[in-house]
């Protein structure tokens, strides 16, 4: 039962990822990415990571993609170049490199296959906000504070770059 749900979510993720990469309309790409993020959130939930599933939907689908949508609307991009419309050698090399990277990871996954059969979802209750929040505020406090610094720097940088320069 759980594995069927996982396979369905995985199929949705792969198909919508293809719809992000191939179609020419940026809005189509963006909305397929939303579908992919929801499939990813479903997979996180299956794996027992409730907090991350919520974060995935709230931060990615809620905040980051709205930002993308704003920019697409602001720049008024309708149709862009077709997928792989560059030089043929470029398209060929790109496909080969992508297939090679995917193949390497698949081989590594295959080598790891006999190590462990897998575990039941939610075997250990580590995915809720309580253990994650506790770890963030104790063991990983420095990294957590550093992320806040990074976000402030990103805000300032984006504001500076987006400012209209006076001629």
Partner 1 sequence: MDAVAIPYTWVLALSAVLFAIGTMGVLLRRNGIAIFLSLEIMLNSANLAFAAFAFRFASDHATAAAALDGQLFIFFVIAVAAAEAAVGLALFILLQRRKGSIDVDRANILRW
User: Under rule CB under 8 A, which residues in 7-66 are in contact with partner 1?
Assistant: 10, 13-14, 17-18, 20-21, 26, 29-30, 33, 36-37, 40, 43-44, 46-49, 51-52, 55-56, 59-60, 63-64
**78, 89, 109, 142: which one binds partner 1 (CB under 8 A):** 109
Q: How far is the CB of 20 from partner 1 (least distance, A)?
A: 5
Contacts 24+ apart (CB under 8 A), 35-40: 36/12, 37/61, 37/65, 39/9, 39/10, 39/12, 39/13, 40/9, 40/13
Could you give the string, one character per residue 125-164, with x where binding to partner 1 holds by CB under 8 A and - elsewhere?
Answer: -xx---xx--xx---x--x---x--xx-xxx-xxx-xx--
**Total site size for partner 1, rule CB under 8 A:** 90
Q: How far is the CB of 47 from partner 1 (least distance, A)?
A: 5
Nearest Cα to Cα of residue 48 among 6, 10, 105, 11: 6
d(CA 34, CA 60): 8
> What is the three-class DSSP state of 6?
helix
What count of Cα atoms within 13 Å lies in the side-chain half-sphere of residue 147?
6
Q: How far is the CB of 154 from partner 1 (least distance, A)?
A: 4
**2, 8, 130, 141: which one binds partner 1 (CB under 8 A):** 2
Annotate 139-166 with b (16+ C-beta within 10 A) or e (fewer).
eeeeeeeeeeeeeeeeeeeeeeeeeeee
Q: How far is the CB of 126 from partner 1 (least distance, A)?
A: 5
Residue numbers 63-102 binding partner 1 by CB under 8 A: 63-64, 67-68, 71-72, 74-75, 77, 80-81, 83-86, 90-91, 93-95, 97-99, 101-102
Q: How far is the CB of 26 from partner 1 (least distance, A)?
A: 5
Beta-carbon contacts of residue 14 (< 8 Å; ≥ 6 apart):
none
Question: Which pair of structure tokens corresponds to residue 81?
Answer: 């170049």
């Amino acid at each position: 039962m759980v594995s069927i749900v996982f396979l369905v979510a995985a199929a949705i993720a792969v198909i919508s990822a293809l719809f992000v990469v191939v179609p020419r309309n940026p809005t189509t790409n963006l909305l397929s990415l939303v579908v992919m993020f929801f499939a990813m959130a479903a997979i996180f939930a299956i794996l027992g990571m409730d907090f991350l599933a919520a974060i995935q939907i709230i931060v990615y689908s809620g905040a980051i993609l709205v930002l993308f949508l704003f920019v697409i609307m602001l720049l008024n991009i309708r149709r862009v170049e077709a997928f792989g419309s560059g030089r043929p050698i470029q398209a060929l090399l790109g496909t080969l490199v992508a297939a090679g990277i995917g193949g390497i990871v698949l081989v590594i996954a295959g080598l790891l296959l006999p190590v462990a059969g897998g575990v039941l979802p939610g075997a250990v209750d580590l995915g809720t906000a309580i253990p994650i929040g506790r770890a963030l505020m104790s063991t990983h406090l420095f990294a957590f504070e550093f992320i806040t610094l990074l976000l402030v720097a990103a805000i300032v940088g984006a504001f500076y770059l987006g400012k209209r320069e006076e001629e």
